[in-house]
Structure 1
Amino acid sequence: MKNNVNVDISSAESEFLEKLQKIVDETIKEEDLVINNLIHPAKDELTPVQKISDKVARFGGSWKFIIAFIIFMVFWVTINTAAVASKPFDPYPFILMNLVLSCIAALQAPIIMMSQNRQEEKDRMRSENDYLINLKAEMGIRSLQQKMDLLLGEQIKQLYDLQAIEIELLKQLHEKNKAKKGE
């Protein structure tokens, strides 16, 4: 009877190890896919026009631009108001300056929007990477949970088997005691 118990325990143990190995293999496969997507993201190659729009947007949204623009406007107004005696190229209502400002705004706005759209795409890619990292963590947790369930199930099965063996041994002892008393 002892040999049967050892054979049952070793086959159950190997079955348990096979299940555990299967969980580990599946987890590694799933994590490799996520890691591959994180390590090798899509390439972000910019065209020369896109690089220029990024530079314009960076400069257009800086204090350098604001200060340079204020200095330019003050210079423009000063030149055209100081040249009252001679003929100014843009007299008082500064219509030419308004035209130049409108043209700059009309060109600068779409360029900045193109740059913002590309930045939004980069942010979306970062969000996808965050999602993949969270997914990887979730898969790790799920794998751990499966391993714990397997271990608990195996422990319960072993306890049940040991209890069955103990009951069998108690029955044998009881039979021996009965036989001794009956003699």
Structure 2
Amino acid sequence: MNEQEIDKLLKHENDQLDKLHQIVKEAILDEELIVQNLLNPPLETISRGQKLSDKVARFGGSWWFIILFIVLLIAWITFNTVAIKFYRFDPYPFILMNLLLSCVAALQAPIIMMSQNRQEEKDRKRSENDYLINLKAEMQIRSLHKKMDLLLGEQVKTLFETQQQQFEILKEIQTKLNERS
């Protein structure tokens, strides 16, 4: 090989490396927005009412609440059944207890719904983050495919060029052999 061919091969290798560097730069720029969104999520501002609804929903959906409520109902029914008629404040059929249970249910339901709506918003944001992470992974895979395609294409081209040079050398050898005989 002469000096021009070596320079040509070195230039070709440098061009290939420049293409790979360009692919990496493009991938980094594409991923920058996604990374910013993942690293700096918007701050969640919670009002006092939202905090209260979360606490009520957490307590209202716990075993502690259920056990406490059952104990309270059993005490209520027992007291109003066993107590002397003068001390009974809600005799059978326990109308006051039914009224209080209805009020608790009527107030507790919308509070729990508010908390569930906030939880749904959190889940939506979490799924958006999952989508961004999946998108970032997909972009990295595409970048890798571009790099692999470039490398494979260049290798095939180099192999063909090398094979062509080998054929030329073989032709020269064959010509020299024919001249000697």
TM over 0.5: yes
Match of 1:112 in 2: 112
SS at match of 1:90: coil
Letter in structure 1 aligned against 2:7: V
CA distance in 2, matches of 1:23, 1:64: 58
Report SS of the residue matched to 1:57: helix
Per the TM alignment, residue 178 of structure 1 is displaced from its structure 2 partner at its CA by 4.2
| Structure 1 portions without partners, runs of 5+ | none
For 2:44, what is the secondary structure of its paired residue?
coil
For residue 13 of structure 1, what is the aligned residue in structure 2?
A: 13
In 1, Cα distance between equivalents of 2:96 and 2:45:
39
Once the two structures are superposed, what CA deviation does each residue of 1:31-89 show, in whole Å capped at 9, x if it has no partner?
32222221111222211000000000000011111111112112222232233431522
**What is the CA distance between 1:180 and its match in structure 2?**
4.2
Counterpart of 1:82 in structure 2 is 82
For residues 140 and 30 of structure 2, the distance between their equivalents in structure 1, rounded to whole angstroms, comes to: 9
Instruction: Report 1:140-159 matches (<5 A).
Output: 140-159=140-159
3-state SS of paired residue (1:122): helix
Which residue does the alignment assign to 2:160? Answer: 160
Runs of 4+ in 1 over 4 A off after TM superposition: 178-181
Matched pairs, number: 181
Distance 1:134 1:127 in 2: 10
Report the equivalent of 1:127: 127
Q: What TM-score do the two structures reach when normalised by structure 2?
A: 0.90
Moved more, 103-112 or 172-181: 172-181
SS of the residue aligned with 1:97? Answer: helix
- Cα distance in 2 for partners of 1:142, 1:123 equals 28
SS state of the match for residue 104, structure 1?
A: helix
Provide the residue aligned with 1:35 in structure 2. 35
Q: CA deviation at 1:179?
A: 4.2
Q: In 2, distance between residues paired with 1:66 and 1:167? A: 88
List runs of 5+ in structure 2 lacking aligned partners: none
Whole-angstrom distance in 1 between the partners of 2:87 and 2:148: 90
Partner residue of 2:57?
Answer: 57
CA distance in 1 between counterparts of 2:47 and 2:133 reads: 30
Normalising by structure 1, we get a TM-score of 0.89
Q: What percentage of residue pairs aligned between the two structures are identical?
A: 58
1:25 alignment partner in structure 2: 25
**How many angstroms apart in 1 are the aligned matches of 2:60 and 2:150?**
61
Whether 1:94 aligns to 2:121 is: no
Measured in 1, the distance between the counterparts of 2:169 and 2:155 equals: 21
Partner of 1:172: 172
The amino acid that maps onto 1:88 is: R
